[in-house]
Structure 1
Amino acid sequence: MIKSNIKQRLECLDINKLEKLIWKRGRFMKDGEFAIYLGKEYSAGKTKEGKIVLRSTDIEDVKNGFEPCKPFNIKYIQDKIVCFKYVNSSEITEYYIIRSMAIYKGFEFEVVEETEDKLSIVTMIGDYRDWVRLGMKSIDIGVYQKWINKNEAEVKIVKENLKL
């Protein structure tokens, strides 16, 4: 599995750092960190202090101690984030990251964007000569990217539990 060196730590009101939610095949394909709190899944992140910030699109969550925030939209998400809550890691039952991955020409890549018929794949590990042979372009130091047709790859959703 591809490990990103960059981990986004998210706050409710910081829209620029919000993890992406990508539209796929007529449904929302989510990528990012999530936590289960009181049996419900929330978009989540860790603060520098080790707290977990939970973000919700359901204003009814204020009944469970969530604080309302100024509603905002995220690209490709229908509902707005409307409230958040900071909790201790002991209060959540599961904490994980979900990534969309593509198997392309025998290699596994992270899917970072998609259109109706194409996927943008990216890698930051491995032998750059392989990536050049596959026609990938260097978009930053050590980061290679390419747009491919969806029918050229097997797409899978990977869930990885994270340490609390």
Structure 2
Amino acid sequence: MRGFTIFEIIIVIGIFIALAAAGATPLLFLKNKNALVNAAERSVSLLSAARTQTLSSENAARYGVHFAPDRAVLFKGTSFNANDPENEQFFFGSAVENAMVSLNGGGTDVVFKRLTGETDGYGTITFRLKKDPTVTRIITVERTGVVSTE
């Protein structure tokens, strides 16, 4: 007789499942790492926009960015108002969280000064993957208002 036994078919299916699982794990990690990089880069972009809007005296106001565990919010004014409809929010996504905000004077807001672009809220903001907290991206805000990421 020619053909395959049920045992051989089960073995082949098992091998395919194992190969698929082995290939999917790195892809999922890569997707999450890209989400982490995107969260950090978008936050840097919001900080840069806030500084630029402040320096250009847009609406004769100061601008800043508020950091929450799940989002960064660009706001107008010297302090964050969660109910302001003009706030521009960016949600980090389900794989990423803002693990730690360590700014001068405490708090979670970086507000820029008109004319100079400096901030009293200088320090670091650390993002990490929820499923692997050892994978991080750190944003550094200098007193001068210059922003960088590592």
Is the pair's TM-score, using the shorter chain for normalization, greater than 0.5? no
**Greater strand fraction, Structure 1 or Structure 2:** 1
The TM-score, its normalising length taken from structure 2, stands at 0.23
**Greater helix fraction, Structure 1 or Structure 2:** 2
